[in-house]
Amino acid sequence: MDKAVDNMEAIIFAAGSGPKTGPDKTTAVDKNGAIQLVDASKKKGFERFVMLNSVGSDNPEQAQEEMRHYLEEKHDADEHLKASGLAYTIVRPVTLTNEQAIGKIFADEKVDHTDKSIPRADVAPSLPNLSQRKKRSIKHSRYSPAPSQSRWP
């Protein structure tokens, strides 16, 4: 992992094992991969880390059984990042889709995520901008206010 962070300007963890893998791959990628990248980033002297995670990873015990392991692994990665001493932003989008971008997001500390989704194409462009943001967690919702009212914490 040390070589992966060589010559980088910012670190963004946006990997995931995917919905069709087993618990072993979820642990290897979503937890251990994230933890290894956090550690390598700290070792190389990075000051900031952006973690793309999942809505619900802040309270995995409240998840339905089929999502619990995934969210527990994501939660553990978040907790490791928080304890690392790095400045960080954790992004917890609602359900990601492959739909065409709509060109806006709503971001806040708390978002009612029930039955909401957002295109990956709207989340991805927001991540590089977060490398300069303050420490915080952000949840995304595709149901955003008009652009003039949008907030980006």
8-29 pLDDT, tens digit per residue, is 888 999 988 876 789 999 999 9
* pLDDT in the model for residue 64: 86
Condensed to tens digits (0 to 9), the pLDDT of residues 25-51 reads: 999 999 999 999 999 999 998 888 999
* pLDDT in the model for residue 94: 85
Q: 61: buried, middle or exposed (CB in 10 Å: 19+, 13-18, 0-12)?
A: exposed
Considering only 46-55, 71-80, 133-142, which range has the smallest mean pLDDT? 133-142
28: left (phi over 0), alpha (psi -120 to 50) or beta: alpha
Cα-based distances in Å from 109 to 12, 55, 136, 139? 19, 11, 8, 6
* pLDDT in the model for residue 56: 86
Task: Please give the Cα distance from 63 to 71 (Å, whole number).
Answer: 8
* pLDDT in the model for residue 44: 92
Catalytic residue among 13, 70, 88, 106: 70
Condensed to tens digits (0 to 9), the pLDDT of residues 102-140 reads: 887 877 777 666 678 889 899 888 888 777 655 454 544
* pLDDT in the model for residue 133: 58
70 is catalytic: yes
Global pTM?
A: 0.80
**Tokens found for residue 56:** 């619900």
